[in-house]
Amino acid sequence: MCAAELSVYEAIRTRRDVRAEFTGEPVDDATLWRMLEAAHRAPSVGNSQPWDFVVVRDPSTLRKFADHVADKRVEFRAGLPAERAATFEPIKIEGIIESGTGIVVSYDHDRGGPQVLGRATVPETGVYSAVLAIQNLWLAATAEGVGVGWVSFYDPEFLTDLVGLPDGIRPIAWLCVGPVHEFQQTPDLERFGWRTRRPLHDAVHHETYRA
């Protein structure tokens, strides 16, 4: 389904954190560029646009990162109680090799100079801006029929060295990006019994949090 045929609400509803559904075909350059353009149009604190995107397709780099992530998965599982470890066991946490394309989203705190309008009292708004770019990319990808999976099992220092980020630039996410066979109707963590979603009425408060 192309972007023109999918409403933003439908993209939000059908968006999934993709792991096992990649076809193995690379996303074509024109589609990838449209997704990156959508990401780059995200709002940012003080119009600082503190993000950059490192597109990774070299098989050796993908393999190095996949091996590192696999080690981190083992470490995480080892720290779980037996029951949670059994629930976690079948959950796939990445599609680094299968997707064929990784996008490392980085954050530059110094982008925009020392006085970033709107960041003085809430410095985290810079990172929030980079995350908004990720969400834009993700929804655009969904509209294009392209899967995205956010990998978070890694040491930031390892990823920084792997893709050559300069001093002061920190990685925010590795995104696995590629065409998919399908989007799962139910998110993986619900399907495998790790955690269910909260209903909206439990998350909405009026006037104060305790109201």
The pLDDT value recorded for residue 180 is 95
pLDDT tens track for 27-49: 999 999 999 999 999 999 998 99
Query: How large a percentage of the chain has pLDDT more than 90?
Result: 83
Q: Residue 73: pLDDT above 70?
A: yes
Report, as an integer, the average pLDDT of 153-163.
Answer: 98
Per-domain boundaries in the chain? 18-111+120-181
The pLDDT value recorded for residue 188 is 77
Show the 3-state SS of the chain: CCHHHCCHHHHHHHCCECCCCECCCCCCHHHHHHHHHHHHCCCCHHHCCCEEEEEECCHHHHHHHHHHHHHHHHHHHHCCCHHHHHHHCCCCCCCHHHHCCEEEEEEECCCCCCCCCCCCCCCCHHHHHHHHHHHHHHHHHHHHCEEEEEECCCCHHHHHHHCCCCCCEEEEEEEEEEEECCCCCCCHHHHCCCCCCCCHHHHCCCCCCCC
- This prediction has a pTM of 0.90
pLDDT tens track for 163-191: 999 999 999 999 999 999 998 888 777 88
Domain 18-111+120-181 fold is NADH Oxidase (3.40.109)
Query: How large a percentage of the chain has pLDDT more than 70?
Result: 97
The pLDDT value recorded for residue 186 is 82
The pLDDT value recorded for residue 156 is 97
